[in-house]
Amino acid sequence: MKRFVYSVLASFLLIMSAPAMANASSADDLINIGKKYMGTKYVWGGTTPRGFDCSGYTQYVFREAGVSIPRTTWTQYTTGKAVSKSQLKTGDLVFFNTAGGPSHVGIYIQGGKFIHASTSQGVTITPLNDPYYWGKRYLGARRVKDFAPKQPVIEYASRAQVAEILANDLNLNVTTTSGEQAPSFPDVPTSHPQHKAITAVAAAGIFSGASDGTFNPNQNLTRGQLAKVLVEAYGLQGKSDLYFNDVPTTNWAHRYVNTLAANNVTLGYGNGKFGVNDNIKLKDFKTFVERAKASATNVQ
Which residues are marked as active site? Answer: 54, 104, 116
Residue 108 · residue 92 · CB < 8 Å = yes
Query: Which residues, in sequence order, are CB contacts of 236 under 8 Å at separation 6+?
Result: 230, 259, 260, 262, 263, 265, 292, 295, 296
Query: Which residues, in sequence order, are CB contacts of 178 under 8 Å at separation 6+?
Result: 203, 204
Closest CA to 185 of 218, 154, 143: 218
Residue 102 · residue 129 · CB < 8 Å = no
**292 by DSSP, 3-state: which?**
helix
Query: How far is Cα 72 from Cα 82, in angstroms, rounded to an integer?
Result: 17
DSSP 8-state class, residue 127: E
**108 by DSSP, 3-state: which?**
strand
Residue 235, classified by CB atoms within 10 Å of its CB into exposed (0-12), middle (13-18) or buried (19+), is exposed
